[in-house]
Chains A and B, each alone.
Chain A
Amino acid sequence: MKAFEWVSPTSVNDAVKLLRAGATTRDPDEAPRPIAGGQDLLTTMKDYITRPARVVNLKAIRGMDKIEGDARRGLKIGALVTLTQLAEHPTVRRDFPALAEAAHSVATPQIRNLGTVGGNLCQRPRCWYYRLEEAVCLKKGGSECFAATGENKYNAILGGGPSYIVHPSDLAPALVALGASVVVAGAQGARTIPLEKFFTLPSEGSVRRENVLANEDIITEITVPASAFAARSTYLKFKERDSLDFALAAVAAAVELGADKTVKQARVVLGGVAPVPWRVPEAEAALAGKRLDQAALDEAARLALAGAKPLAKNAYKIPLTQALVRRALGKVGGLNS
């Protein structure tokens, strides 16, 4: 880890200023970084993937560590809320189960005890090449995505190119499915961004980043609206190694069912398969008005992966993700499949 100066402001405004003032280089990997739980940031710093000369501690800022609200009003989740807090919160577990399940699925108890909600959304990709300092890939300012033609078992089958990372966050697909937004403090004050518009594909935003945040921007809060489908939501994560792993594929699903058990509306968001949480409106639309029987699940699963373009070593993610889509929808629909 490169030496850095550590500063611990007590207000969001000061934090933004300190992040802005410390920016002395154009290399985004050397810009000042905010630190909350540090569970991802420190790993990139130890491997010199990020090399900030200034680290701005956010944990001395008060009021960002609370979960407020309920099923009727929706949730306000402070960015410093830990994954443990979120996973264990009774309201979240009862009324927003996808969110509690996603939080619980993250890494290990130790990481969840420090890792924060804001940090989880801002974590950097786990692509082998990105994480290897010696491999100067596209995301580190190089000219090539080595995964495109290399060892790409864990890489994207949807939305890839020119970089083929997958977004590592477990909360992100669940929050997108629940229609959440993030409140961001920046140089121009606070703004609210729907989470669906927060993440950027490598082909749209900067290939060096995974979201719309400017370097001095700080997520202060996540809002989850009350919805008719939050209570019938789930997050299914498939790991190669259950004890500790990122998702090979994941699905966040939520449905609102009518009195006749037909789907009034559905949300299906894929994780672990694309550079952003991958919402599949085609599958959602196909479910509307249907009962969640096996045929409907099969059709939704097929549509969810219809656009997949696997690389040489990750075609298995198609049947895997299809299975998760069927199971997630079956679960929220009360089926056993």
Chain B
Amino acid sequence: MADEQDKEAPARPSRRRFLKGVGIAGAGAALAGRVPDAAQRDGKGAQGAGAQTPAAGTVELALTINGQRRTVTCEPRTTLLNALRNNLEPPLTGPKLVCDMGTCGACTVLLDDKPVYSCLVLAVDAVGRKVTTVEGLGTPERMNAVQAAFVEQDALMCGFCTPGFVTTISAYLKQNPRPTLEEVREACKGNFCRCGTYPRVFAAALAAAQNATRATDD
């Protein structure tokens, strides 16, 4: 689909840029330096004058998604969520577009292992960072502990909020492997469900923690 879009005339006369992460940041840096401070002109490899030169129209981005290098053609205004869902081939539609305003959590992905709302991240800002979607956490055949616990505990109904919850909780359990119920609630207060799965989401999170702990203990 990325190719398709290129054939369509972009919004503005296109000055295509190939933005790629140059990996300047040290491991501890939180924000600064994670975005490219240099752009390569038309993908030819020559270092440009830095990203002082504006990127407009369509841009080509090299993103690291679920451990793979993926190329995305989109606009500077394209959110990471839309880029994943619409501009990748094949697309990643696990993260859901629900509110598009950072108020529901269905689009949650991990950016450098931390949960964020991908509807409130520009795709250009994900360059040079590690993006993990629910598809990167497990597959129907090989679910991670949280996914398996969700199925066991019936922590889902329509399932539209589920990828967001799974992603948030999977990240949280890495940070806090033995949470209390209150800590689980606090961790997923940025994810909303309409069917009413919350009590079982909490139960699944606690069960996944227990299962993982048991596995480690054994």
Tell yes or no: A3 within 8 A of B by CB.
yes
Q: Are A60 and B101 in contact (CB under 8 A)?
A: no
How many residues belonging to B are interface residues under a CB distance threshold of 8 Å?
46
Instruction: Select one of A39, A55, A64, A85 contacting B76, CB under 8 A.
Output: A55
Q: Are B117 and A18 in contact (CB under 8 A)?
A: no
Instruction: Select one of B52, B77, B114, B192 contacting A1, CB under 8 A.
Output: B77
Q: Are B102 and A111 in contact (CB under 8 A)?
A: yes
Q: Are B190 and A108 in contact (CB under 8 A)?
A: yes
Tell yes or no: B50 within 8 A of A by CB.
yes
Measured between beta carbons, the chain B residues less than 8 angstroms from A60 are: 32-33, 35-37, 51
Tell yes or no: A5 within 8 A of B by CB.
yes
Instruction: Select one of B36, B56, B101, B116 contacting A110, CB under 8 A.
Output: B116
Tell yes or no: B27 within 8 A of A by CB.
no
Measured between beta carbons, the chain B residues less than 8 angstroms from A84 are: 114
- Segment with Cβ contacts to A, from B84-92, B118-126, B140-148: B118-126
Tell yes or no: B12 within 8 A of A by CB.
yes
Q: How far is the CB of B110 from chain A (nearest CB, A)?
A: 10
Q: How far is the CB of A62 from chain B (nearest CB, A)?
A: 5
Q: Are A82 and B31 in contact (CB under 8 A)?
A: yes
How many A-B pairs have beta carbons closer than 8 Å: the answer is 138
Instruction: Select one of A3, A39, A62, A85 contacting B33, CB under 8 A.
Output: A62
Tell yes or no: B73 within 8 A of A by CB.
no
Measured between beta carbons, the chain A residues less than 8 angstroms from B121 are: 38, 114
Complex alpha-carbon distance, A46 and B99, angstroms: 11
- For B31, B77, B120, the residue with the greatest tally of chain A CB atoms inside 10 Å of its CB is B31
Which B residues have a C-beta under 8 Å from some C-beta of A? 11-12, 29-37, 50-56, 59, 75-77, 79, 100-103, 105, 108, 111, 114-117, 120-122, 124-125, 168, 172, 186-187, 189-190, 192
What are 28 A-B contacts with C-beta separation under 8 Å?
A: A3-B12, A4-B56, A5-B54, A5-B56, A5-B76, A7-B55, A8-B52, A10-B51, A35-B122, A38-B125, A39-B102, A42-B79, A42-B120, A42-B122, A46-B100, A59-B34, A59-B35, A60-B36, A62-B32, A109-B172, A109-B187, A110-B117, A111-B102, A111-B120, A113-B114, A242-B189, A243-B190, A244-B189
List of 6 A-B pairs having minimum Cβ-Cβ separation, nearest first: A108-B190, A6-B76, A8-B51, A5-B54, A5-B56, A243-B189
Contacts A42-B102, A57-B124, A109-B186 aside, 10 further interface pairs with beta carbons under 8 A come to A1-B77, A6-B122, A54-B54, A64-B32, A109-B168, A113-B116, A114-B120, A243-B190, A243-B192, A244-B189
